[in-house]
Amino acid sequence: MATDAMAPVATANVPKAKSELMQQRVRAARLFLIPMLVALAIVAGWPLLRSIYFSFTDATLNNLYGAEWIGFGNYLRWTVLESGTVRYRGVLADPDWWNAVWNTVRFAFWSVLWETVLGMIVALVLNAEFKGRGIVRAAILIPWAIPTIVSARMWSWMLNDQFGIINDLGMKLGLLAAPVAWTASADTAMTAVLIVDIWKTTPFMALLILAGLQMIPRDIYEAAAIDGVHPIKQFFRITLPLVRPALMVAIIFRVLDALRIFDLIYVLTPNSSATKTMSVLAQENLFQFNNFAEGSTQSTLLFLMIAIFTVLYIWLGRVNFDGGDR
Amino acid sequence: MGATFDLWKLTKTVLFYALVVFIVVVSVFPFYYAILTSLKSGTDLFRVTYWPTSFSLDNFRQVFTQGEFPRNLLNSVFVASVTVILALFLAITASFALSRVRFRGRSLLLMTILAVSMFPQIAVLAGLFEVIRFLGIYNTPWALIFAYTIFTLPFTVWVLTTFMRDLPVEIEEAAIVDGATPWVIITQVFMPLMWPALVTTGLLAFIAAWNEFLFALTFTVSNQTRTVPVAIALLSGGSQYEIPWGIIMAASVIVTVPLVALVLIFQRKIVSGLTAGGVKG
């Protein structure tokens, strides 16, 4: 309900004083918001508009201001050859782009799926009462605390084809017949990226789910136990429905994060077309291959995708924007 | 009957603890292995071992004497600290307005802030590059401080807003009756209550800025101005087969140990701060 945190203050005063007080507060609020809004406009709003603008021009890295408007040419343009065949060009007709889109979507889907399942298991373990729970909670925070770049390099050493401990372990346990070039070979590069990402972000997922689990009153389970409901049934009938809101928010958070992945892939599997995502492709085009306009187009398309997901998040998550109702 | 029941119960306990041990080992092992590797030298490095076999600080010595790593470390500390101070300073007044005052467009504003925090950084990269060159701060730490505001500011505003919303009304009422202006309420009444939240938010923002890679890679180009993540990512030898793994692991350990220590010390606060952004929001 919109009964604001401030409402009691307001009603406690006489009407005239109230409106004066309210006006003073609103004036102060505006003043307080201006610095933040200006900062956000300069670092987010304006750059975003300019990036979108560049995607409609022929800008290059060294010629940002002399760029000319070319409409949707960077997105899609076509020429009709003399033979009558039509040749399409632009990002939307570029197989590299669609490969990156496919990689990104594939990565987002599998990483979030595994993180949700494993995060749920870890959260259920942490929600149980047992000796050493504090140690587990501390331990799972370690992957989260390690910088992505560091974990990428740590794992690329562990996944090294000749001297890596993963191959050694896999062969000792009889899981691998021969050493695998995890990050270098196109077949396993995505698996390698997924392993590292899942290792790194499952803790975050687990903590978010755990917060949801802890809000479920214990007596529901006691009642179910008295009624003789099997624990597995309890999970699907009680836990899952009640933790769903928290779970949904966590999943969409992670999807948004996975869709923009850059650093892990850039460091773990450099120049591998099997893992190159939209962000990596756009960054390379912008600043390394001198295809500034094309890179802007790709980043704009990625922004559109994420914008759609954000709207979905706000809609599905039913986020509470009404500051004062608690 | 009783005996079989106990056996089943025992099996369950054993399986549960096996799972617990598995979770702990998987979480900790890569970091443990990085430490192990960083303490090896020479050919030892290329022998896979699961337990410490040698102890040599050679790699650490090299990290600090070769190249610009100490400088990169200082850059990271400077960039992350200034970014956090700036974000907290801007966020504290803004979140007072967003959590304590009712005005038209507040929901829309909060929604915009949340949307900005979910921005893909790549979407602003081209435009940000232009602004940074225009301001003449390209390839300086200021470029990063400027760019990092895009994710630290919305995040701090969001978390501080959820926190301030929960502060009791009575405290503010008393202050208003005493004739306190909003500015006085923030600085004299709320600030002392907000320390735990400020520390948590600041810490999370610090970690985010410390770890950031995309902007750092794009907006700094020389060894002297880079931050630690880029330095570690670009540490390499002459060819693929000469990657100096020992040195990389030593640098990684140096960068990660303070973070892990901070996170373990502030465990509870960090968990509550993380979830405030997600579930409570």
Å between A140 CA and nearest CA of chain B: 6
Residue B126 burial by Cβ neighbours in a 10 Å radius (0-12, 13-18, 19+)? buried
The reply to whether B61 falls in a domain is no
Å between B262 CA and nearest CA of chain A: 9
- Asked whether residue B152 falls in the same domain as residue B266, the answer is yes
> What is the band of B184 on the pLDDT scale with cuts at 50, 70, 90?
confident
Instruction: Share the mean pLDDT of chain A.
Output: 85
- Asked whether residue B76 falls in the same domain as residue B169, the answer is yes
Amino acid at B277: G
Asked whether residue A158 carries a pLDDT value surpassing 80, the answer given is yes
- Asked whether residue B24 falls in the same domain as residue B128, the answer is no
The reply to whether B100 falls in a domain is yes
Q: Which domain holds residue B145?
A: 66-280
Asked whether residue A282 carries a pLDDT value surpassing 80, the answer given is yes
What value of ipTM does the predicted structure carry?
A: 0.88
Predicted pLDDT at A11: 44
**How far lies A130's CA from each of A125, A136, A137, B17, B127, in Å?**
9, 10, 12, 9, 52
State the average pLDDT over residues A67-81.
85
Q: B106, A9: Cβ pair inside 8 Å?
A: no
Tokens of A162: 């000749």
Tokens of B263: 């996170």
What is the number of structural domains in chain B? 2
Asked whether residue A241 carries a pLDDT value surpassing 50, the answer given is yes
Å between B197 CA and nearest CA of chain A: 17
Asked whether residue A160 carries a pLDDT value surpassing 90, the answer given is no
The reply to whether B24 falls in a domain is yes
Secondary element (H or E) of residue A17: helix A15-40
Q: A262, B256: Cβ pair inside 8 Å?
A: no
- Asked whether residue B216 falls in the same domain as residue B78, the answer is yes
The enclosing domain of B75 has a CATH number of: 1.10.3720.10
Q: B120, A260: Cβ pair inside 8 Å?
A: yes
- Asked whether residue B99 falls in the same domain as residue B216, the answer is yes
Q: B281, A319: Cβ pair inside 8 Å?
A: yes
- Asked whether residue B84 falls in the same domain as residue B8, the answer is no
Domain at A95-317, CATH homologous superfamily: MetI-like (1.10.3720.10)
Nearest CA in chain B to A304: B123
The predicted model scores a pTM of 0.87
State the average pLDDT over residues A124-139.
88
The reply to whether B129 falls in a domain is yes
- Asked whether residue B137 falls in the same domain as residue B51, the answer is no
Most confident of A10-24, B150-164, B228-242: B150-164
Across A264-268, B40-44, B231-235, B252-256, least confident range: B40-44
Percentage of chain A with pLDDT > 90?
34
Predicted pLDDT at B277: 58
Residues of A in contact with B156 (CB under 8 A): none
- Give the residue from B21, B38, B56 where a domain finishes: B56
Percentage of chain B with pLDDT > 70?
94
Using DSSP, state whether A77 is helix, strand or coil: strand
- Asked whether residue B98 falls in the same domain as residue B218, the answer is yes
Asked whether residue A117 carries a pLDDT value surpassing 90, the answer given is yes
- Asked whether residue B118 falls in the same domain as residue B75, the answer is yes
- Asked whether residue B133 falls in the same domain as residue B219, the answer is yes
Percentages (nearest 5) of helix, strand, coil residues in chain A: 70, 5, 25
- Asked whether residue B231 falls in the same domain as residue B199, the answer is yes
Residues of B in contact with A138 (CB under 8 A): 264, 267
- Give the residue from B56, B80, B95 where a domain finishes: B56
The reply to whether B51 falls in a domain is yes
Q: B122, A282: Cβ pair inside 8 Å?
A: yes
